[in-house]
Chain A
Amino acid sequence: MPNRAADLLPGTLDLLVLEAIARGRKHGYGIAEHLRHTSDDVLHVGESSLYPALQRLLLEGWVKAEWGVSENNRRARYYTLTAAGRRQLATERQDFTHMVAAIQRVLAHD
C-alpha cells in the first residue's frame, strides 16, 4: 500500500517539497513525480495535499513561482526556492534529523 501524504509526520510535506525543488525548478507534477521516484514509489502525493502545501509556501515567501512551458508543451508553473526558503530548508532538515534520531532511540530502547 503506497503511503499517502496525510500519513506523513506533520510538517514533513513542506520539507519534502522544499527539498524537491532545492536542486532546480520544478512544476507541481514534477515535484510529485520526484517524491515518488526518490522514495521508491512509496510517497504518493496527490493534488489535494500538494497544492495547498505549495500555496502555503508561497504565502510564507519560501518559494516563488513563474510560468514556463512543460515537456508536453503546456503552460506550467515552475517553483524555485527563495533565499528565505533555503534557510527554512536547512532548519527543517536539521529538526527532522533530530526528531528521527530521537524516535529511533525510543524504538531501540528495550
Chain B
Amino acid sequence: MIDDPLRLWRRVRHLLSRRRHDAELAEEMATHHALRQRDFERDGLTPDAARHAASRVLGNQTLAAEDARAVWWATWAESAWQDVRYGLRVLRRAPAFMLVAVFGLAGGIGVCAALFSGFNALALRGFDVFEPDRLASVFTADCVDCEQPNSTGWSMAEIAYVGARARTISGLMIDDQARPDESGALSAAMVSANYFTLLGVPMVRGRPFAAGEDDLQSPTAVIVLSDRVWRERHGARDDIVGQSVRLRGVPFTVIGVAAAAFRGTSALATDAWIPVAARRLVTPNDPWVKGLATDPQQCCMQVVARLADGVSRQAAATELTALRAQVPRTRPDSSRRIVALTPFTVVGSKGPASVRRMASTFGMIGAGVGILLLLACANVANLLLARASVRQREIRLRLALGASRARVVRQLLTEGVLLAGLASLGALVIARLLPPLVLRVVTTGTLALDFSVDHRVLLATIAVASFSVMLFALAPALQATRPLIDRGPRTALRGVFLSAQVAFSLVLLVTAGLFVRSVQAGRTIAPGVAVSALDEVAVTLPATVTDSVEVRRWHTRLPELARDVGIRRSALAGDAPLRFGATRYRRVGDPAIHEVPSTAVGVGYFDVVGQRVTRGRDRAEGTGGLRELLVNDSLAAELGGAERAIGQTLVIDSVSHTIVGVVTNARDATLRNAVPVLYRTLSPLSVPRLVIRDDQGGATRLQRAIRAAESQVDVAQRAYQWYLDDALRESQGAATMAGLLGGMSLLLAALGMFGVVAYWVQQRRREIGIRVALGATRRHVTALVLGSTSRAVVSGVVVGTAGAIAAGRVVRGALFGVEPVTAPTFLLAIGVLMTAAALATVYPCWLALRIDPAESLRAD
C-alpha cells in the first residue's frame, strides 16, 4: 500500500525516536493504571486489593503496549530488524567463518551474475542511445520463433515505400556495420542520413548527416567520426569539422563528431560513419554497390525502426508486414514472408535465428555455471552445519526459553540472507569485471558493449542470491533446530562429494597449468625469425587504382622511402607475418597435385627477417628470379632431402618453377610444428608490404614519411610481435578461463574440506576427549583429524589425475610445444591442491587440539 506522505513522515519520525515513544507509552499506561487504582481505593478497596483489581480490569499491559506499537510498524518488521542485528553480531564474532562463506558464495553467485551480465550486454541491453527500448531491428523472415526463419534485410525499394507510409513507427534507418580493419585503417559503418537523429545521438562537434547526403545518384563524401577516433587520431583538435580524412584513399570531409558515450551499434566500437551512398565512392567497382544505385530491389540492407510511442514490436510487425506486401516490385516475392522485429541489441540486430541461438548457448553455459553455484552452496551448507553444532547450546537455549522453532529457523535464515547479501556485493563486482575481461582476451578491437551493472543484472543477482539462501541455509537451519540433533547427512556421502570436488579442481588446475605452459612455450619457441627487431609497414592503395603501373611503382617507392628515412635493412613481402597462403604444385612426371603453405617474398627478405639460406642460393634479382623458388627445411625433407630438392622443377599454374635454395624453418601463425613452406617470388602485380629490421623506430618514421609524400594511400604499421601475440591469444584466453575456474573450484574444495573437517571435529569432541584422557598426544590428535579426510582427498587426487590425463588429450590440439601429460604440471597442481587441503584443515585441527578432556566429558 502506498502511504500518504504525511503519514509516512509520521511513521518515519516514530521509528527514528522509537525509544522515546516506547517510554512515553509505558508512562502513559502506568498513569492510567495508577488513576484506576486510585478510583478503586476511593470506592473503598485497600491499596493492595485496588492494585490487583486495576490489573485485572485493565488486562495484559505488555500485550496492549505491543499492539499499540504495532500500529506504527508491523511487529514482524521490528523483529526482522532484530534478527538482522543479531545475525550481524553473530557473524562479526566469527570473522574467519564469515569471510570463507562469503568468498565461496560470492564466487558461486558471481559467475552466475557474470554470465547474466554478459547475456544482458549482448542480448537484452540496447545501445547508448535515446530510449533504446523503442528501437527494433527489422527483418523479412519465413516465420518467427521457428527453427529456420531465413531472415534477410530490406531492399532500398522496401525501405523507401514502407518508411514513408508506416504509422506504427516514427522512422526507418539503415545501419550496415563495417568489419573492423585489421591493418588499423579507419573502418566506417554505412548508415542512412537519419541515423543519428533517429537514434537521438548528439554531436560534440559539427552536425549529423543532412537529408540530401545519402542520395544514391549523387554521393557526397562526408563522414562523422567517433569521439574515440577524434581523440586518438586527431588529438581532439577543435577545428576537426571541415578537415579531410581518407577512407581507402578517398578524401572525406568531416562534418561532425558523435558524443563520447555513443560507441556505435555493434559489439565492437565503430570508428566512423558514412552515408550509404558514399560507399559508391569508396568501392566504386563492387557490383553490389553499383547495384544500389541502379536496382532499388537489390537485397539487402540492415534496417532499424524506431517504434512510435506506446507501440509494441508485435503491433509494428503486423503493420509492416501488410505494407511490405504492397511494395511494387518487378521480381516475384514469396507472399508468405513476414516482417520480424527483434530487439535492437548486439544479438537482436543479427536476426531472429541469432536470438534463439544465443539463448540456447547461454543456457548451456548456464548449466555449467549452475554446477559451480550448487558446489558453492553445498560447501557453505556444510560449513553452516559445522557452525550449527558449535552453536548448539545457544540454539537449544533459545528454544528452551520459549522461542518457537519457526522463530529460530527464521533467525538462522536471516544470517544466511546476510551472508548472501554480502556475497552479492562481491558477485556484482565479478559481474562487472569478468565478462569484459573474458571478451578482451578472446577478441581484438575496442569493445562497444556496456557491462555496467543495471537493474536487470541487479535483479538477477538478487534472485540468484535468494535462491542460494534456500539452498545453503534452509537445510542446516532445519537440521540445527531439530528436537534432537542426530548425525546429520551421511558422512560417507560427504566423503564422495568431497573427493569429487578434489578431482574436479585437479582436472581444472592441470588444464590451466597446461595452457599457461603452452603460452610460455609459445613465447619462447624460436619462431625462426628475429621477431623482436622486426616491424611491418603496409599501404592500402585508393580503391580507384586499377592500373598496374601504380602498383608496380610501389615496389620501388616503398624501399626508396625507407632508405630516405634511414632504414638500412628492409625487404618486400606479399603476406602479413606468420600468415601464409596456399599454393598447389605438381612435380614433373607425377600427376599428383600437392598443396603447400606458401608466401611471396621480395629479394633480400631472408636476410632481413633472419632466416638463413643453408643450401643453394637466394633467388636472382629481376625477371629471371620470377620462376625461382625456395623451400624451407621441412618442405625440402618432404621433397627427398635438401640435396635432392635443389634443382627440382615444380609446376605451378602450368608454369615450371625451379627450386634454387633451402632456408631454415620459420613458424606460421599456429606456432606448432614447423610446417613446410614454399617461398615464391613476389609478383610485381600485387601490392607489397615492407618488412623492416630497425630498432630506432624506423617503422614510425616511414609511416610518417609515406603520409607526407603519398597522402592518397592509407598506411599502417605493426610490430611482428603483435602477430605472434595474436596467434597466442586463444591459448591465453583458454589459460585464463581454466585458471579462473580452477582457482574457484580449488577455493570451493578447500571450503568444503574445511566444513567437513570442522564438523567432524565437533561431532567427535567426546571421542577426542577420551583419547586425550587416555594419553593421546597432540600428534595422535592431529593424525586423527587429518585422517578424517585423507581417504577422500587421496581418492580425489587419483580420479582427478586420470581425468586430467583425459582432458589433456582433448586439448592437445590447442597446445604449443607442450606434452599434455607432464610430471611438473601434475605435481605442481597436486601440490597446490594438497596445500589448500592442509590450510583448510589447520583451523579445525587447532580446535581439536584445544579440546580439554575434562570439559568435553563433562559436557554430555
**A residues lining the B interface (CB < 8 Å):** 27-29, 32-33, 44, 46-48, 51-52, 54-56, 58-61, 70-72, 74-77
Contact = CB atoms under 8 A, between A and B. Distances in A.
Given A51-B64, A52-B64, A72 B38 contact: yes
Report the interface size class on chain B. 20 to 34
A62 to B, nearest CB: 11
Contacts of A46: 57-59, 64
Nearest to A77: B28
A48 B71 contact: no
Contact of B68 (A29, A51, A70, A77): A51
A108 B43 CA distance: 42
A27 B68 contact: no
B59 A47 contact: yes
Given A32-B32, A48-B60, A51-B68, 12 more contacts: A27-B28, A29-B31, A29-B36, A33-B39, A47-B29, A47-B33, A47-B58, A47-B59, A60-B7, A61-B10, A70-B31, A70-B35
A61 B29 CA distance: 21
A58 B24 CA distance: 14
Interface in B20-41: 24-25, 27-36, 38-39
Contacts of B25: 51, 55
Interface of B is mostly: helix
A61 to B, nearest CB: 6
Given A46-B59, A48-B59, A55 B72 contact: yes
Contacts of A77: 24, 27-28, 31
B668 to A, nearest CB: 80
Contacts of A60: 7
A61 B31 contact: no
Nearest to B24: A77
Contacts of A74: 30-31, 34-35
A59 B13 CA distance: 11
A44 to B, nearest CB: 8
Interface string B519-542: 000000000000000000000000
B32 A29 contact: yes
B60 A29 contact: no
A91 B64 CA distance: 28
A52 B68 CA distance: 4
Contacts of B11: 59
Interface in B763-803: none
B10 A27 contact: no
Nearest to A61: B6
B556 to A, nearest CB: 93
- In this complex, the member of B7, B35, B61 whose beta carbon has the largest number of chain A beta carbons within 10 angstroms is B35
Contacts of A75: 27, 31
Contacts of A32: 32
Interface in B717-736: none
Nearest to A72: B38
7 contacts: A28-B32, A29-B35, A29-B36, A51-B67, A55-B25, A74-B34, A77-B27
Contacts of B7: 59-61
